[in-house]
Amino acid sequence: MRETIIETEAMSRFDSAVDEVVSADRGLSGFVLAYGQAGRGKSVAADRYHFMRGGAYVRVWQGWSQTAFLQRLLFEVRGKNTDMPRHTGNRCKEMIVQLLQDERKPLFIDEADRLKIDRIEDLRDIHEMTGAPVVLIGEEGIFGLLSERRRIWSRVAYEVEFGPISPSEVALYAMQGAGLDIPLALSSEIAQRTEGDFRLVRNMMLLLEKSAKASGSFTVDRAMLDAALSARTWRRK
């Protein structure tokens, strides 16, 4: 199976939202909130945008202090193969502001729901001083985090929900990733059984591809799907 990224409806909305805040004047820029359950393609969309169009991308680690977070953010904003900064958190923040004032770029903060609210406040300070857009990517719990501070929530310019992968997207992913032809009725069943989780869909495609190679037919039928469905538990009850 080939590694493949398909253009989902949510991904298109994400690209449009980030394009809007990146192209807006400094005073009209803001935060973008990309949210949804795990496995819905949020990180893939953010990583793809960052790779293709630039910016600074940070994936949050559990338990990061202010200093650790801002050191990592400074490292990514610099965008060079230099050593990890060892400055204090406040000095890192000052340097980030200076760099973004010289060259404004979007900041992608993945798994932002793992941050403490004070780190979101650090991002608000940076945004206020530079106009750099901030893209927060996380699961639904991020709403509870942001609701603690109205002054942050009011700066969210766009909300992009990443919902379950659709049956047509399942079929497209199967064709592009593994050359599998899956009828819409079976694609609908796959989407339902996996609860639209991209990772589970990928795992199912691996089983179906193996079965297709064994049988010599890459058109998925009822028997092939039943065998894949019986191979494991595809969702938690």
The 10s digit of each residue's pLDDT in 8-61 is 999 999 999 999 999 998 878 899 999 999 889 999 999 999 999 999 999 999
Whole-angstrom Cα distance, residue 73 to residue 134?
12
Mean pLDDT across 208-216: 93
Residue finishing a domain among 142, 161, 180: 161
Model pLDDT, residue 149: 78
Percent of the chain with pLDDT over 70: 98
44 and 123, same domain (yes or no): yes
Section 88-103 average pLDDT:
96
Q: How far apart are CA 155 and CA 130, in angstroms?
A: 14
Residues 90 and 199 in one domain: no
How confident is the model at residue 163, as a pLDDT? 93
Does 236 fall in a domain? no
CATH number at residue 122: 3.40.50.300
Same domain, 211 and 143: no
Q: What is the pLDDT of residue 59?
A: 96
Residue 237, pLDDT above cutoff 60: no
Q: Which two tokens stand for residue 108?
A: 């992608």
- pLDDT for the residue numbered 27: 79
What's the average model confidence in pLDDT over 217-227? 94
Average pLDDT over residues 55-77: 95
- Looking at the structure, tell me whether residues 142 and 174 fall in a common domain: no
Domain contains 4: no
Whether residue 151 is found in the same domain as residue 175: no
Q: Provide the edge-to-edge strand list for the sheet that holds 134-138.
A: 56-59, 107-110, 134-138, 31-35, 156-161
59 and 130: one domain? yes
Q: What is the pLDDT of residues 38-51, one digit of tens each?
A: 889 999 999 999 99
Instruction: Note whether residue 203 is domain-resident.
Output: yes
Rounded to whole angstroms, the Cα distance separating 73 from 78 reads: 9
pLDDT category at 81 given cuts 50, 70, 90 is low
Instruction: Name the residue with tokens 């993945």.
Output: 110
Query: In which domain, by residue range, is 138 found?
Result: 9-161
For the range 67-75, what are the long-range contacts, defined as Cβ-Cβ under 8 Å and sequence gap of 24 or more? 67/92, 69/115, 69/119, 69/122, 70/96, 70/122, 73/107, 74/99
Q: Is residue 103 part of a domain?
A: yes
Question: Higher confidence at residue 149 or residue 105?
Answer: 105
Angle between the N-to-C axes of helices 117-130 and 66-78, in degrees from 0 to 180, rounded to the nearest 10: 40
As a whole number, mean pLDDT of residues 202-219 equals 93
Instruction: Let me know if residue 234 belongs to a domain.
Output: no
- Summary mean pLDDT of the chain: 92
The verdict on 46 and 150 lying in the same domain is yes
Same domain, 62 and 91: yes
Same structural domain, 84 and 177: no
Task: Please state, in angstroms and rounded to a whole number, the distance separating the CA atoms of residues 102 and 83.
Answer: 21
What are the tens digits of pLDDT across the range 143-196? Answer: 888 877 788 888 899 999 999 999 999 999 999 999 999 999 999 999 999 998
Asked if residue 20 lies in contact with residue 190, where contact means CB atoms within 8 angstroms, the answer is no
Instruction: State residue 70's pLDDT score.
Output: 97
Is residue 42 one of the residues assigned to a domain?
A: yes
3 inside domain: no
Please compute the mean of the pLDDT values over residues 128-141 and round it to a whole number: 94
Note the pLDDT of residue 236. Answer: 57
More confident residue, 82 or 165: 165
Total structural domains within the chain: 2
Note whether 171 and 145 are same-domain residues: no
Q: Does residue 20 sit in the same domain as residue 126?
A: yes
pLDDT at residue 113 is higher than 80: yes
First to last CA, the chain: 29
237: in domain? no
The domain boundary, picked from 123, 143, 161, lies at 161
